[in-house]
Structure 1
Amino acid sequence: MAAIHFSILVLEMFLWRTDRVRATFGTSEEFAEQTATMAANQGLYNGFLATGLVYGLISDDLTFQVFLLFCVIVAGIYGALTVTSRILFVQVIPAAAALPAVLLAG
Protein backbone atom coordinates (compact mmCIF):
# COMPACT_ATOMS: atom_id res chain seq x y z
CA MET A 1 0.00 0.00 0.00
CA ALA A 2 2.71 2.49 0.94
CA ALA A 3 4.53 1.89 -2.35
CA ILE A 4 1.37 2.69 -4.30
CA HIS A 5 0.96 5.99 -2.47
CA PHE A 6 4.64 6.92 -2.82
CA SER A 7 4.33 6.20 -6.56
CA ILE A 8 1.30 8.46 -6.80
CA LEU A 9 3.25 11.17 -4.96
CA VAL A 10 5.97 11.03 -7.63
CA LEU A 11 3.49 11.00 -10.50
CA GLU A 12 1.41 13.89 -9.21
CA MET A 13 4.12 16.08 -7.71
CA PHE A 14 6.99 15.66 -10.16
CA LEU A 15 5.83 14.00 -13.38
CA TRP A 16 2.32 15.43 -13.82
CA ARG A 17 3.11 17.32 -17.04
CA THR A 18 4.95 14.46 -18.79
CA ASP A 19 3.47 12.68 -21.79
CA ARG A 20 3.43 9.31 -20.05
CA VAL A 21 1.59 10.55 -16.95
CA ARG A 22 -0.85 12.55 -19.05
CA ALA A 23 -1.60 9.38 -21.00
CA THR A 24 -2.00 7.41 -17.76
CA PHE A 25 -4.50 9.90 -16.36
CA GLY A 26 -6.06 10.74 -19.74
CA THR A 27 -5.33 14.46 -19.55
CA SER A 28 -4.31 17.01 -22.14
CA GLU A 29 -1.19 19.15 -22.00
CA GLU A 30 -3.34 22.21 -21.28
CA PHE A 31 -5.23 20.48 -18.49
CA ALA A 32 -1.98 19.23 -16.93
CA GLU A 33 -0.62 22.79 -16.93
CA GLN A 34 -3.79 24.20 -15.40
CA THR A 35 -4.00 21.56 -12.68
CA ALA A 36 -0.31 21.08 -11.79
CA THR A 37 -0.66 22.79 -8.41
CA MET A 38 -3.76 20.76 -7.56
CA ALA A 39 -2.04 17.53 -8.61
CA ALA A 40 0.99 18.38 -6.46
CA ASN A 41 -1.34 18.90 -3.50
CA GLN A 42 -2.92 15.48 -4.11
CA GLY A 43 0.54 13.97 -4.43
CA LEU A 44 1.55 15.43 -1.10
CA TYR A 45 -1.57 13.94 0.52
CA ASN A 46 -0.62 10.54 -0.92
CA GLY A 47 2.87 10.97 0.49
CA PHE A 48 1.41 11.56 3.94
CA LEU A 49 -0.73 8.42 3.61
CA ALA A 50 2.33 6.41 2.55
CA THR A 51 4.38 7.79 5.41
CA GLY A 52 1.61 6.93 7.86
CA LEU A 53 1.38 3.39 6.53
CA VAL A 54 5.15 2.91 6.89
CA TYR A 55 5.05 4.39 10.39
CA GLY A 56 2.23 2.00 11.29
CA LEU A 57 4.39 -0.94 10.28
CA ILE A 58 7.47 0.32 12.12
CA SER A 59 5.63 1.34 15.29
CA ASP A 60 3.58 -1.86 15.46
CA ASP A 61 0.66 0.30 16.67
CA LEU A 62 -2.50 -1.61 15.73
CA THR A 63 -4.82 1.34 16.37
CA PHE A 64 -2.76 3.60 14.14
CA GLN A 65 -2.57 0.95 11.39
CA VAL A 66 -6.33 0.43 11.39
CA PHE A 67 -6.98 4.18 11.44
CA LEU A 68 -4.66 4.77 8.45
CA LEU A 69 -6.19 1.92 6.46
CA PHE A 70 -9.66 3.36 7.11
CA CYS A 71 -8.38 6.76 5.94
CA VAL A 72 -7.08 5.18 2.73
CA ILE A 73 -10.39 3.37 2.18
CA VAL A 74 -12.52 6.48 2.77
CA ALA A 75 -10.29 8.64 0.57
CA GLY A 76 -10.38 5.94 -2.12
CA ILE A 77 -14.16 5.66 -2.06
CA TYR A 78 -14.45 9.43 -2.35
CA GLY A 79 -11.97 9.44 -5.23
CA ALA A 80 -13.80 6.60 -6.96
CA LEU A 81 -17.09 8.47 -6.69
CA THR A 82 -15.72 11.85 -7.76
CA VAL A 83 -12.80 11.09 -10.11
CA THR A 84 -12.63 7.56 -11.53
CA SER A 85 -13.79 4.12 -10.48
CA ARG A 86 -10.25 2.81 -11.14
CA ILE A 87 -9.35 4.15 -7.71
CA LEU A 88 -11.37 1.30 -6.22
CA PHE A 89 -8.89 -1.17 -7.68
CA VAL A 90 -5.73 0.81 -6.95
CA GLN A 91 -6.54 2.08 -3.47
CA VAL A 92 -9.71 0.73 -1.87
CA ILE A 93 -9.42 -2.99 -2.57
CA PRO A 94 -5.75 -3.27 -1.45
CA ALA A 95 -6.48 -1.33 1.75
CA ALA A 96 -9.63 -3.35 2.41
CA ALA A 97 -7.65 -6.56 1.89
CA ALA A 98 -4.89 -5.36 4.22
CA LEU A 99 -7.33 -4.49 7.01
CA PRO A 100 -8.29 -8.06 8.05
CA ALA A 101 -4.66 -9.14 7.73
CA VAL A 102 -3.59 -6.35 10.08
CA LEU A 103 -6.38 -7.18 12.54
CA LEU A 104 -5.53 -10.89 12.53
CA ALA A 105 -1.83 -10.20 13.00
CA GLY A 106 -2.50 -7.67 15.75
Structure 2
Amino acid sequence: MLVVADVLVALVALIHVYILVLEMFLWTGPRGRRAFGTEPEFAQATRALAANQGLYNGFLAAGLIWGLIAGGSTGFGAQVFFLVCVAIAGLYGTATASRRILFVQTVPALVALAFVLAAH
Protein backbone atom coordinates (compact mmCIF):
# COMPACT_ATOMS: atom_id res chain seq x y z
CA MET A 1 0.00 0.00 0.00
CA LEU A 2 2.85 2.36 0.86
CA VAL A 3 4.52 1.78 -2.51
CA VAL A 4 1.28 2.60 -4.35
CA ALA A 5 0.86 5.73 -2.23
CA ASP A 6 4.42 6.85 -3.00
CA VAL A 7 3.94 6.23 -6.74
CA LEU A 8 0.71 8.26 -6.75
CA VAL A 9 2.34 11.12 -4.83
CA ALA A 10 5.21 11.07 -7.32
CA LEU A 11 2.73 11.19 -10.23
CA VAL A 12 0.97 14.22 -8.72
CA ALA A 13 4.38 15.86 -8.28
CA LEU A 14 5.24 15.12 -11.92
CA ILE A 15 1.93 16.60 -13.07
CA HIS A 16 2.85 19.80 -11.27
CA VAL A 17 6.37 19.86 -12.68
CA TYR A 18 4.78 19.56 -16.13
CA ILE A 19 2.36 22.39 -15.33
CA LEU A 20 5.35 24.47 -14.19
CA VAL A 21 7.06 23.88 -17.53
CA LEU A 22 3.89 24.70 -19.48
CA GLU A 23 3.22 27.91 -17.57
CA MET A 24 6.76 29.19 -17.13
CA PHE A 25 8.44 28.18 -20.38
CA LEU A 26 5.89 27.06 -22.96
CA TRP A 27 3.02 29.48 -22.26
CA THR A 28 3.36 31.51 -25.47
CA GLY A 29 4.30 28.56 -27.70
CA PRO A 30 1.96 26.19 -29.50
CA ARG A 31 1.99 23.51 -26.78
CA GLY A 32 1.24 25.94 -23.97
CA ARG A 33 -1.47 27.74 -25.93
CA ARG A 34 -3.05 24.41 -26.91
CA ALA A 35 -2.98 23.14 -23.32
CA PHE A 36 -4.73 26.23 -22.00
CA GLY A 37 -6.77 27.19 -25.06
CA THR A 38 -5.29 30.66 -25.44
CA GLU A 39 -4.70 32.91 -28.42
CA PRO A 40 -1.16 34.23 -29.13
CA GLU A 41 -2.00 37.80 -28.11
CA PHE A 42 -3.54 36.72 -24.83
CA ALA A 43 -0.65 34.37 -24.08
CA GLN A 44 1.88 37.14 -24.68
CA ALA A 45 -0.08 39.63 -22.54
CA THR A 46 -0.37 37.18 -19.64
CA ARG A 47 3.11 35.66 -19.84
CA ALA A 48 4.28 37.05 -16.47
CA LEU A 49 1.08 35.96 -14.71
CA ALA A 50 1.41 32.44 -16.12
CA ALA A 51 5.05 32.24 -15.03
CA ASN A 52 4.00 33.22 -11.51
CA GLN A 53 1.35 30.48 -11.54
CA GLY A 54 3.93 28.02 -12.80
CA LEU A 55 6.26 28.86 -9.95
CA TYR A 56 3.52 28.10 -7.43
CA ASN A 57 2.89 24.75 -9.12
CA GLY A 58 6.61 24.09 -8.77
CA PHE A 59 6.38 24.74 -5.04
CA LEU A 60 3.56 22.19 -4.79
CA ALA A 61 5.71 19.65 -6.63
CA ALA A 62 8.71 20.44 -4.42
CA GLY A 63 6.64 19.91 -1.29
CA LEU A 64 5.42 16.54 -2.53
CA ILE A 65 8.94 15.47 -3.46
CA TRP A 66 10.16 16.61 -0.04
CA GLY A 67 7.44 14.45 1.51
CA LEU A 68 8.64 11.44 -0.47
CA ILE A 69 12.28 11.99 0.45
CA ALA A 70 11.75 12.85 4.12
CA GLY A 71 9.75 9.75 4.95
CA GLY A 72 8.46 9.03 8.44
CA SER A 73 6.05 11.38 10.16
CA THR A 74 7.63 14.44 8.51
CA GLY A 75 7.16 12.98 5.04
CA PHE A 76 3.63 11.86 5.86
CA GLY A 77 2.70 15.33 7.13
CA ALA A 78 4.23 17.01 4.09
CA GLN A 79 2.45 14.67 1.69
CA VAL A 80 -0.92 15.23 3.36
CA PHE A 81 -0.46 19.01 3.53
CA PHE A 82 0.65 19.41 -0.09
CA LEU A 83 -1.93 16.98 -1.48
CA VAL A 84 -4.66 18.92 0.32
CA CYS A 85 -3.20 22.15 -1.13
CA VAL A 86 -3.25 20.64 -4.63
CA ALA A 87 -6.85 19.44 -4.19
CA ILE A 88 -8.03 22.85 -2.94
CA ALA A 89 -6.20 24.65 -5.75
CA GLY A 90 -7.78 22.22 -8.19
CA LEU A 91 -11.26 22.85 -6.82
CA TYR A 92 -10.73 26.59 -7.08
CA GLY A 93 -9.42 26.23 -10.63
CA THR A 94 -12.38 24.04 -11.53
CA ALA A 95 -14.80 26.63 -10.20
CA THR A 96 -13.09 29.63 -11.80
CA ALA A 97 -11.25 28.46 -14.91
CA SER A 98 -12.00 25.01 -16.34
CA ARG A 99 -13.77 21.81 -15.36
CA ARG A 100 -10.84 19.93 -16.86
CA ILE A 101 -8.75 20.94 -13.84
CA LEU A 102 -10.92 18.69 -11.69
CA PHE A 103 -9.63 15.63 -13.55
CA VAL A 104 -6.06 16.80 -14.14
CA GLN A 105 -5.36 18.11 -10.65
CA THR A 106 -8.05 17.48 -8.03
CA VAL A 107 -8.91 13.83 -8.66
CA PRO A 108 -5.27 12.64 -8.79
CA ALA A 109 -4.51 14.55 -5.58
CA LEU A 110 -7.51 13.08 -3.76
CA VAL A 111 -6.73 9.53 -4.93
CA ALA A 112 -3.12 9.93 -3.80
CA LEU A 113 -4.29 11.40 -0.49
CA ALA A 114 -6.59 8.44 0.10
CA PHE A 115 -3.72 6.00 -0.47
CA VAL A 116 -1.33 8.03 1.71
CA LEU A 117 -3.85 8.05 4.56
CA ALA A 118 -4.62 4.33 4.12
CA ALA A 119 -0.91 3.45 4.11
CA HIS A 120 -0.24 5.18 7.41
Structure-1-length-normalised TM-score: 0.96
CA displacement 1:24-47 (0-9 Å, x = unmatched): 211111000110000000000000
2:45 aligns with one of 29, 34, 37: 34
User: How many aligned residue pairs are there?
Assistant: 106
What's the C-alpha RMSD, in Å, of the aligned pairs? Answer: 0.8
Which one is further off, 83-92 or 58-67?
A: 58-67
Q: Name the aligned partner's letter for residue 81 of structure 1.
A: A
Letter in 2 for 1:102: V
List per-residue Cα deviations over 1:41-95 (Å, max 9, x = no partner).
0000000000000001111121221111110100100011011010000000000
- Say which of 90, 93, 96 aligns to 1:76: 90
5 Å-filtered alignment, 1:1-106, equals 1-60=12-71, 61-106=75-120
Q: Which blocks of at least 5 consecutive residues in structure 1 are unaligned? A: none
State the percentage of identical aligned residues.
58
